[in-house]
């Protein structure tokens, strides 16, 4: 399960991801990020993200390369991002 919430303080929208970022939820995350980008800068707050599968990690890397800031990245997610990037 993944919970997605927003906090907007233009020009920055922070999207909070809570739970597990798995393949079935990627389209919803992409949609939320795309809509938020129409308002300005986007930051993903990952403080409550417990796990991401390989497709979720690929999405996070792609969003980051596209200018989306990843904030409050938990150690497990940071480790998974680092290990799967190799």
Two tokens, residue 57: 């990690």
Mean pLDDT of the chain: 92
Reference 32, options 53, 54, 3; nearest CA is 3
Segment 70-82, tens digit of pLDDT: 999 999 999 988 8
- Give strand pairing partners of 42: 13
Looking at per-residue confidence, does 6 or 8 come out higher? 6
Whole-angstrom Cα distance, residue 70 to residue 25? 18
Mean pLDDT value of segment 47-75: 95
In order of their start, the domains of the chain are 2-84 (3.30.750.24)
| pLDDT of 86 above 60 | no
Reference 6, options 27, 25, 23, 31; nearest CA is 31
């Amino acid at each position: 399960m993944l919970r997605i919430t927003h906090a907007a303080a233009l020009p920055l929208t922070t999207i909070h991801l809570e739970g597990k970022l798995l393949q079935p939820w990627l389209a919803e995350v992409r949609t939320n990020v795309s809509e938020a980008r129409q308002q300005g800068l986007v930051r993903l707050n990952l403080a409550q993200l417990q796990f991401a599968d390989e497709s979720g990690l690929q999405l996070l890397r792609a969003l980051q390369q596209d200018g989306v800031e990843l904030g409050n990245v938990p150690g497990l997610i940071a480790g998974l991002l680092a290990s799967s990037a190799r």
